Every structure is written in C-alpha cells, then in structure tokens.
Structure 1
Amino acid sequence: MDLLIGSGLAAFTIYAAAKWNKSDKEKIQHTFRNLNYKIKDKEPKHLKTHRTDQYSLYTYHVPYGLVDDEKLQVLEKVLDRPVKVSFEKGKLHIKVYNKKLGTKYAYDLFKPKGKWTIPIGMSQDGLVYHDFDLIPHMTVAGATTQGKTQFMKMFVTHLIENNPEGVEFYILDLKGKLAFNKYRNLKQIKAIAGNYGDSAITLKEVKKSIQSDMDYLLSIDAENAKEGNVKTRKFIIVDEAGELQTDKYMSDADKEHIKECHRTLSHIARVAGQLRYSLIFGTQYPTKEILDPQIKANSLAKVSFRLSTAVQSGVALDQTGAETLEYVGRAIYKTIDEHIIQTPFITKDDIWERIGRYEDVSSTNETANQGRSDTFTIG
C-alpha cells in the first residue's frame, strides 16, 4: 500500500511538473492572453522560432490593428531573462536572450572604428558604437554617480587617443571644473570654463569659429565640412547643464551670461553639425526647462543612465525606462534604434596612460588667462 501511494504521488509530481514547466513559447502565448493582447478574438499567431547561442527569436503574425505595446515588457519578468520586443512589417518579434548583460566591460574590448566613432557600450547583441559624422549632437542624462561624467571622460579619451591631431574640445564644466580640470593642459583641450561668465566667453569664441568656417566653405562653394575637406571636429561639452538656469538671487550679469549661453548652444545644435561641430549636452536632472527644445530636437543621439523618475526619462528619451536601470554604468542609447548597454569601464590611471603624453606640463597658461577669472583655462 505504501508503495502504491508513493508511486501515485511520484506520478502526480511528474505530471504537475510537466504541466507547470512550460516552454518559453507557451509562456509568451499565455502572457498574450493574460494581457488581452488581441483584436476581438484574434491573437498573435506564432510563425517561426530562430535559435542561436545567444538568444531565441520568436516571430508572430498579428491581426491588423494590433501594434507593439509597452505592456509586453512584462515578458522579461515572466521569462526571467532579458527580452527585446520589436514590431516590423506587420510581424511581432520577441527576442529572448540566454544570459543577462554583465555589469562591467573593459574599455580594451572596444576596438577603434574610425576617427569620429566612439564606443557606447556592450548590448545583449554585442558592441555598440556611435559615429559623430552620421549623428553630430548627443544628449547625456543621468543621476549623480550613475556614470554620466565617466562616460564623457571615456569618449574624450577615445577621440584624443585615436585622432590626436584632428580633435578639439571646449568644455563647460559647471560643477566648479572639478571633473575636467586635470585635462586642462592637454593640447586638444582649448577651453575649460567653470562659471557663467567664462562659459559665455568660451561659447562666444566657438560662435566666431563657426562663422569663420561658414565663410570659408562659402568661399570654396562647399555645402558642408566634408565637401570642404575640413579635418578637425570640435566638441562642445556641457556638464552640468542644470547649472545654466537663472534664479532671482543671481546678479543681472550672471543672468545675461546664462541667456547668452543658451542662445549659443541652441545655435550650435541648429546650424553647426554639418560643419563638424558636435554638442554633447549633459544633465543630471532633465526637465523641459533644462533640456532646451532646439537642442533636444537636433540631438538625434540620446544616452541616459539611471534617472529618478519616469517623468525625467520621458524628457531625456521620450519614453520611460531610464528610471528602472539597475547598475552604475548601465544606460539606454537611442537613435533610430534603441539599445540597453553597459558603458565601457576605464580607470583614471588607464586614461592618463593613453593620453597623458599630450599634456604640456611646462605650460602654466598664465598668458592665456590674463584678464580672465581663475576658473577659465585656455589650452
């Protein structure tokens, strides 16, 4: 009798395990039903499954009128693995990855791809790069300590290391120059500004440079920097843009400096991309007031590290998601496509091993700084 009971219990256990241990495809179909993801009585119909060592791709035909939906992101929790949902040509594609994205990828993994191409990070599908010749301007958002400034230092290092004679930087380091002050004597660093007045001066010089380049291209009947064989690309980096906000306690002079900064940054975003100027606009706290509409509209590349709220993510990326990022260095990179990436990890020592040789240690910049405050440096 004991044997019969034990056999029956074992059989029931095997039956129950088989019943509840469903395949990913079955779990996806059940999720469609639970979410009421259908048109009338028509649900998505499985067409094919493609498997690789990295992922399984499930493709579905969906009834007319049914489109991709953010609520399908629940599949990541249902399957307990990373999931990418896309919708193309009337077909729903659900890619289920075998492993989760790691939390650290060394900078050495990212090999150079070209003069103006920088590594963005590792995604579930592999290495991701950004080409500033294709998309010149970028916004970078992220709460304190989540990786925004370190990401900027990484790509400054990459551009100097791989094109030392063809790149220039104008940096508004509005957290007192603490992040980028060490870079001040690199020959590629043309200016580091740490306050409102010096930021306005720096941007005024950039605006003059833009006009000079326009005049040159007009003189040779060239429509853009590529046609004019312009060799140098100039990067204007803003870190932290939230400081460029006026308040009632500011002096009139500072208010005017800030207004001038906004006018010039907007001008750069609107007209200078094809002249080989790139604006990198960084902020910890993206709001509609801080992230100027003209800058956002002309910055077709967006990188966002973790943010505090879905509202901030909506401002930074036009979608939610940045508020759910789990790890330091984890970000969403968005152009036409979208990738969740882990940005390259590089140490301070490694940075200076790579670019320290371009530092002019004999320069004190005393001549360049005459008539300016000590928070402004010309390289």
Structure 2
Amino acid sequence: MLFEVGSIIVMGGLAGYASLKTSGSTSNDADKIQRIFANAGWNGRNSETIRLQRKAKFKGGVEYVYQIPLGFDRKKIEADKHILEDGLNIRHKYLDFDPSELLKIKFDKTVLQQIKKILTNKKIKRKEIELSFDGMLRIKVYNERMQDQYDWDETYLKPGTWSVSIGQTRKGTVRHDFDEYKHLIIAGASGYGKSAILKLIVTSLVLQQPDNVNLHLIDLKGGSAFQRFKDIKQVKNYTREPEETKDILAEIQKGMNKTYTEIVDEGFEDIKESGRKERHFIIIDEAADIADNSACMDVVTDIARRGRGAGYYLIYATQYPSSQSIPQQTKRNIPSRLCFVLDDATASNTALGQTGAEELPLIPGRGIYKNVKSQVVQTPYLNNKEIKKRITPHIVIKPRKETESDNVEPRQGEERGSNSFEYEEM
C-alpha cells in the first residue's frame, strides 16, 4: 500500500509538472511577451524590437526587464496594458496543489481516489502585471491577482496625523496625506467603492484628529453616505439639498478668507507653518449635481486654488466625470485622484488624466490612485456596523435651529412647545 501511494504521488507530481509546461508556465511568459510586442506593433521607429535584458523571480511572480528602442512611445503600453495582460492569461491553468491536503487523507479503501483528486485539482488563476519605467521597461508578472478585499482595522489609523489609508497594494498600504497633498478628486461608477471610501476617510479623520477636524458634508445623493455622521460634534455643516449648498459654500469661503488673512498677517506662509491645528474638510458627494450652478462652482474652484494655505481641503466626488462635472480649473489645482471602475476611456481620462479605469475588474474597492505616479489599489472595507461603533462616542445632540413657528403665540389653553419633540441620546 505505501509503495502504491508513493508511486502515485511521484507520478502525480510528474503529471502536474507536464501540465504546467504545456498549459503555460512562467518559463514561457517571456516568449509570450515578445510575441505580444510584435503583434501589437510595440516597436521602435525603425521597427527595432524591444529586447529582454534580464528576468528575476520574486515571491509570487517574475520581473522582466526590457531595453526600450530609441523613439519608443512607452505610453502605447500604458494605454493598452490590458492587451499584454490578456495575452498572458490565454489558456493558463495551474496545478493547485497544497501539500497540507495530504494530511487530511483518510486511509481507507478510497485513499487512492483521494490522492488522485488532490493531485489533479486544477484551477484557473488570472495573472496580473505591473509596469514601471526607470530607463528600462520593467514588467512584473504576478501569478495570482490581487486580493479582492482587505478588512479595515485599527492598524490603518495614524493618530495625530492627517494621513488617511487610501488602499492596499501587494507592497503595503498607500496613504494620502492631506497636509502634504491637500485636495482629492474621487470618481467611479455607482456601487464600486466611491461612497465606501468617503465614509472611511471621514471615520479615519474623526478617530485620528477628534479635536481638530471640522467637517462640512454635502451629500447630493440623498444623504445615503453621510447621514450617519450628521450628529457628530466634528460636523459643522451638513446638507443633502442642492438649494442649501450655495449658502453653505459661501459660509465656508468666508471662514477660509478670514483664516487665510490671519495667517498671512501673522507672517506665515500657510497653515502648517503657523502651527494651527484645526483643519476643515469640504466633502462633496455627487458634485455633478451642482456643476451647472456657477455660484457654487466659483467657490469650489476658489477652495481648490487657495484653500490649502488656510487648511481648507476639498474632497470632490462624482460618478459622472465629464468636462462639466469636473471643471478644468478645479482639476488643475487637484493633482491627486482616486478612480474606481468607469464605463469608458473618455471618463477615465477626464477623472485621472489617463486611461485605465475602464479596464479595472468589476471588484468593489478596486481603483487607481494617482499622485504623480499611478498605482492600482484595493481600498480597505469598513462596514457600517463598525462605523457606528466608532463614531457613537462623538455624537452630540445639537441645538435645534429656531424657525418661524417658534415665535407664534400658543392658542388659548395650549402650552408653548406642546407639539415639539424631545430627543434623548441612548
């Protein structure tokens, strides 16, 4: 029996190795890449070919380094990265063998069938690539795609800073430091992570800087993203009505001008140099709804242009990126972008300044973060239950604004305020 088991394991291993060779292993990826270059027309001006200089294995994949011909336009590969990735994934089947499975074998009359099943278990695994340029073209080929979800926990926080986790890569966590990069544009189709990252940013700012952050939340999608935050003490303005947005933005602009004048008069260049701790975040979800309101957009552009000096940072989000919804002046003042999947290359180019978002997999939270260089990230997932738990200690019952009905004299026999509600925090 032991001899038979040993023989089957050896034979299965050889069969698996043969399967790897015939189905497309990393050993022939270099040949595939060279053929893709030729078929896609990615050559130099005089038909010079891209030559492989060296390759090196790393955990989870192989890096190929190529010499680029003179006059080669590397943007061709950046724009059509999916062609290279799709070509590498043609007929890729791998032997998915985990040695620990052998420990689960039951030594009964079905032992041979169990071993055979373990050794012949094949799964489709999609390869992913990462491009970089440093005088040479570097193509990292990963044997498996990036993890689909990273659950948020306290390790993503940096208390006392304005640095917020934007996403996870294979190399670690990518953060956006608002004190360094100031504003942020966020775009993406509905259901793929835009609202989730906005809630994560708000929660992170509250937990990291509870006494210094001032939030101005404008939720033009009906309040679904920010409603849960409206009663925390850090929120200075909240609306879900486009009609109220103009007045709120005007109030914010007035405060920004006052702060900026004070900082300059004190002899400082900006908020960081002045040593002031307070920061204001103006977060607009579905900004396309105010794109045709010139009064609103004038203030938005002004915040993007001058807000950084006064500590007024803009987060501008939309699921409909266009030249109208993201004005050119606003884009020029906000180089940092986070973009989830979009329906076409035009929308991607509008939001990111490059194509690529239209080729992202349909995975919630998968996006491209661009700040000088762009990289694919998976944003940490923070569920609503955890958000509620984290922000509950910051909830306060704010005084109700006086309305006209408060000044009406009660009718005879009726006590003033008899129709009002009393709220008690639980």
Fold shared per TM-score above 0.5: yes
Q: Distance in 2 between matches of 1:109 and 1:220?
A: 38
The question of whether the paired residues in 1 share the 8 Å contact of 2:260 and 2:309 is answered with no
Q: CA deviation at 1:20?
A: 7.3
Q: CA deviation at 1:35?
A: 2.1
Is 1:178 aligned to 2:178, yes or no? Answer: no
Is 1:226 aligned to 2:272, yes or no? Answer: yes
Once the two structures are superposed, the pairs formed by residues 12-23 of structure 1 within 5 Å of their partners are 23=28
Choose from 349, 358, 367 the match for 2:385: 349
Q: Distance in 1 between matches of 2:191 and 2:24?
A: 42
Number of residue-to-residue matches in the alignment: 344
1:286-309 residue CA offsets vs partner (Å, 9 max, x unmatched): 111111111111111111112222
Is 1:76 aligned to 2:76, yes or no? Answer: no
**Structure 1 residue matching 2:273: 3-state secondary structure:** coil
- Structure 2 match to 1:293: 328
Q: Distance in 1 between matches of 2:64 and 2:149?
A: 29
Choose from 120, 127, 135 the match for 2:166: 120
Once the two structures are superposed, the pairs formed by residues 131-142 of structure 1 within 5 Å of their partners are 131-142=177-188
Q: Distance in 1 between matches of 2:212 and 2:364?
A: 32
Q: Distance in 2 between matches of 1:132 and 1:145?
A: 25
Q: CA deviation at 1:109?
A: 7.1
Choose from 365, 371, 374 the match for 1:335: 371
Choose from 141, 153, 163 the match for 1:96: 141
- Structure 2 match to 1:63: 69
Distance 1:66 1:162, change over 3 A: same
Unpaired segments of 5 or more residues in structure 2? 1-17, 90-126, 406-426
Q: Which has the higher contact order (CA 8 A, sep 6+)?
A: 1
- Structure 1 match to 2:110: none
Q: Distance in 2 between matches of 1:357 and 1:19?
A: 56
- Structure 2 match to 1:8: none
Q: CA RMSD in A?
A: 2.3
Q: Distance in 2 between matches of 1:371 and 1:299?
A: 42
- Structure 2 match to 1:259: 294
Q: Distance in 2 between matches of 1:18 and 1:287?
A: 47
* Amino acid aligned to 2:33: I
**Larger-Rg structure:** 2
Q: Distance in 2 between matches of 1:109 and 1:280?
A: 23
Unpaired segments of 5 or more residues in structure 1? 1-13, 247-257, 373-379
The question of whether the paired residues in 2 share the 8 Å contact of 1:110 and 1:119 is answered with no
**Structure 1 residue matching 2:376: 3-state secondary structure:** strand
- Structure 2 match to 1:37: 42
Choose from 134, 140, 153 the match for 2:199: 153
* Amino acid aligned to 2:151: A
Distance 1:19 1:293, change over 3 A: closer
Distance 1:19 1:121, change over 3 A: closer
**Structure 1 residue matching 2:214: 3-state secondary structure:** strand
Distance 1:241 1:72, change over 3 A: closer
- Structure 2 match to 1:47: 53
- Structure 1 match to 2:14: none
**Structure 2 residue matching 1:323: 3-state secondary structure:** helix
Choose from 241, 244, 263 the match for 2:287: 241
Q: Distance in 2 between matches of 1:116 and 1:20?
A: 46
- Structure 2 match to 1:3: none
1:121-160 residue CA offsets vs partner (Å, 9 max, x unmatched): 1123332111111211111111222211111001100110
The question of whether the paired residues in 1 share the 8 Å contact of 2:340 and 2:367 is answered with yes
Q: Distance in 2 between matches of 1:184 and 1:109?
A: 23
Choose from 19, 23, 31 the match for 1:26: 31
Q: CA deviation at 1:75?
A: 1.8
Distance 1:356 1:293, change over 3 A: same
**Structure 1 residue matching 2:303: 3-state secondary structure:** helix
The question of whether the paired residues in 1 share the 8 Å contact of 2:54 and 2:66 is answered with yes
The question of whether the paired residues in 1 share the 8 Å contact of 2:264 and 2:270 is answered with no
TM-score using structure 2 length: 0.76
% identity of equivalent residues = 31
Deviates more, 1:30-39 or 1:186-195: 30-39
- Structure 2 match to 1:6: none
- Structure 2 match to 1:107: 152
Distance 1:67 1:87, change over 3 A: farther
- Structure 1 match to 2:92: none
The question of whether the paired residues in 2 share the 8 Å contact of 1:97 and 1:124 is answered with no
1:13-35 residue CA offsets vs partner (Å, 9 max, x unmatched): x8xx6697652222212222222
**Structure 2 residue matching 1:107: 3-state secondary structure:** coil
Q: Distance in 2 between matches of 1:371 and 1:99?
A: 63
* Amino acid aligned to 1:278: Y
Distance 1:102 1:19, change over 3 A: closer
* Amino acid aligned to 1:232: E
Q: Distance in 1 between matches of 2:192 and 2:230?
A: 24
The question of whether the paired residues in 2 share the 8 Å contact of 1:51 and 1:57 is answered with yes
